Structure 1
Amino acid sequence: MSKQVALVTGGLGGLGTAVCRRLHQEGFIIAATCSPSNGQRHAWLAAQRDEGMDVLVVEADVADDSACARAVQRVLAETKRIDVLVNNAGITRDRSLRKMGVDDWHAVMGANLDSVFSMTRHVLEPMIGQSWGRVINISSVNGQQGAFGQANYAAAKAGMHGFTKALALEVARHGITVNTVSPGYLATRMVSEVPEKVMKERILPAIPVGRLGTPEEVAGLVAYLASEQAGFMTGANIAINGGQHMC
């Protein structure tokens, strides 16, 4: 079999980078999407090459179905296959519902949930054609327990769970597994922007292990789900949150 290909949406962020690196270590050819407005693309690529990793970066607004279709076709044209899709792209626009505008709702639903529908829909036929595939959806602890000011984000991330279960039933007979990973708070740039007082008084005390997770820990779980050994796991939502929410 040809070398397998993993496509990671939002691959240039903190968690996305960790996932790309780990899957590269596992022997995958890596493709990653980034927002057309991401001005760090060239610096990011240079940094990865310095680490010995070549990545096919494809600009795509993942909230746009036609852009997702073009991104998938670009990856297929250059690599001839897609074996693993990691739906990692996402944004936040936090406000209490009383202050949340319609644009805030649709932007978050588009980037976090519509993108999962579109990207997955466009990779399914190639996966079915090869009778093997892995779809891994990156959700959040806040999709399980909710969070003040995140009605849009929590709804989008919770929606991933229903999508995962339904699609897992549809494609299991084709050798394709579909799973969700729900990380807690990770030591990424986005979390580092949380005010120190909020971190020390509200977030860390709610995590039984007493620390933030690392992107590398989540990437290790993603690597397992992408492997041959995970073939009997499908339709699952796996929490990795330091005990912050147990279900």
Structure 2
Amino acid sequence: MTEKVAVVTGARRGIGLGIAKRFLQEGYQVLLAAASPESAAEELVGQLNEQYGREESRPALYLQCDISLEEDRKNLFAFVQEHYGRMDALVNNAGVAPNVRLDLLDTTPESFERLVRINLEGTFFMCQGGANLMLRQLREGLEDFRPRIVNISSMSAYTSSTNRGEYCVTKAGISMVTQLFADRLAEAGIGVFEVRPGIIATDMTEKVHEKYAKLIEEGVTPIRRFGRPEDVADCVWAAAGGLLDFATGQVLNADGGFHIRRL
């Protein structure tokens, strides 16, 4: 039986790594991609293959890819086609936060453009490239092939943070990217989904850990704990694993209930 293949961007740490591990647990071949060079991920990939390898196989590979660069995106999809010949799941998780949190009235064009280029433009064209590859592979009649795309946005897609407005704008944009591709690809049977993480304990939130810990303690989320990468990975797997195919375009909130409007 042919092993299925998942591609996860921003997978060297945090949420992306948690998602990659979930696919490995489910028996997928996984291509981890991130902007860091291969040398930075060599030890990680070795550990993953030791933990999840089956009969000396190496189910985890790593490829350097800056999703904001067209050439890197093309190289990634070319590698997938040449090395695997199929891509059953594409998880667009790569993204960045502002280098410095600034009040909305002080946000710089440089910061705004950087986040748009990586978070929004990068995700859009990863969806485009992934969709075209999946459509081509569908025409090839691959065995047991029902590809899906999952975009990772954030509760910031609908939540105002006036000291990082450019981040909120890009995450809101990802929501529309998801709807557009879900609509366009529905006739081909390719499901496209959005997962919105909430307050997740990662290195990205470490600098504001104390602030978020206090908010959680005060009840900002009905489930009063930090989220874990595994919580996000569970939502990704629900979509990418085929449980939600009739619900294409669906948003899954991995946020401890933050999205619930409460009095």
* One of 157, 176, 187 as aligned partner of 2:201: 187
Q: What is the 5 A alignment of 1:69-88?
A: 69-88=74-93
Corresponding position of 2:112 = 105
Tell me the TM-score normalised to structure 1 length.
0.92
Letter of the aligned partner of 1:52 in structure 2? Y
In structure 2, C-alpha distance between the alignment counterparts of 1:25 and 1:31, rounded to whole Å: 14
* One of 163, 168, 178 as aligned partner of 2:177: 163
**Which segment drifts farther, 12-21 or 229-238?**
229-238
Letter of the aligned partner of 1:5 in structure 2? V
Q: Is the 8 A contact 2:104 2:162 kept in 1?
A: no
* One of 159, 163, 166 as aligned partner of 1:152: 166
Letter of the aligned partner of 1:17 in structure 2? L
Q: What is the 5 A alignment of 1:1-247?
A: 2-36=2-36, 40-53=40-53, 54-93=59-98, 94-131=101-138, 132-196=146-210, 198-205=211-218, 206-246=220-260
Q: Once superposed, what is the RMSD of the aligned Cα atoms?
A: 1.8
Q: What secondary structure does 1:145 align onto?
A: coil
Cα deviation, residue 215, structure 1 = 0.8
Q: Is the 8 A contact 2:200 2:226 kept in 1?
A: yes
Cα deviation, residue 180, structure 1 = 0.4
Letter of the aligned partner of 1:188 in structure 2? T
In structure 2, C-alpha distance between the alignment counterparts of 1:217 and 1:211, rounded to whole Å: 12
In structure 2, C-alpha distance between the alignment counterparts of 1:28 and 1:37, rounded to whole Å: 23
Letter of the aligned partner of 1:162 in structure 2? M
In structure 1, C-alpha distance between the alignment counterparts of 2:233 and 2:250, rounded to whole Å: 17
In structure 1, C-alpha distance between the alignment counterparts of 2:46 and 2:2, rounded to whole Å: 26
Letter of the aligned partner of 1:134 in structure 2? R
Q: Where do 5+ consecutive residues of structure 2 fail to align?
A: 54-58, 139-145
Q: Is the 8 A contact 1:182 1:240 kept in 2?
A: yes
Map Cα deviations across residues 49-73 of structure 1 (whole Å, 9 max, x no partner): 3322532211111111221111111
Percent of aligned pairs with the same residue?
28
Inter-CA distance 74–130: structure 2 relative to 1 (3 Å threshold): closer
In structure 2, C-alpha distance between the alignment counterparts of 1:49 and 1:166, rounded to whole Å: 36
Map Cα deviations across residues 9-48 of structure 1 (whole Å, 9 max, x no partner): 1011211111001011112110121113586312222332
Inter-CA distance 201–39: structure 2 relative to 1 (3 Å threshold): farther
Q: Is the 8 A contact 1:26 1:223 kept in 2?
A: no
Q: What secondary structure does 1:218 align onto?
A: helix
Cα deviation, residue 164, structure 1 = 1.1
Letter of the aligned partner of 1:83 in structure 2? D
Tell me the TM-score normalised to structure 2 length.
0.87
Q: What secondary structure does 1:235 align onto?
A: coil
Q: Is the 8 A contact 1:69 1:119 kept in 2?
A: no
In structure 2, C-alpha distance between the alignment counterparts of 1:158 and 1:38, rounded to whole Å: 31
Cα deviation, residue 99, structure 1 = 2.3
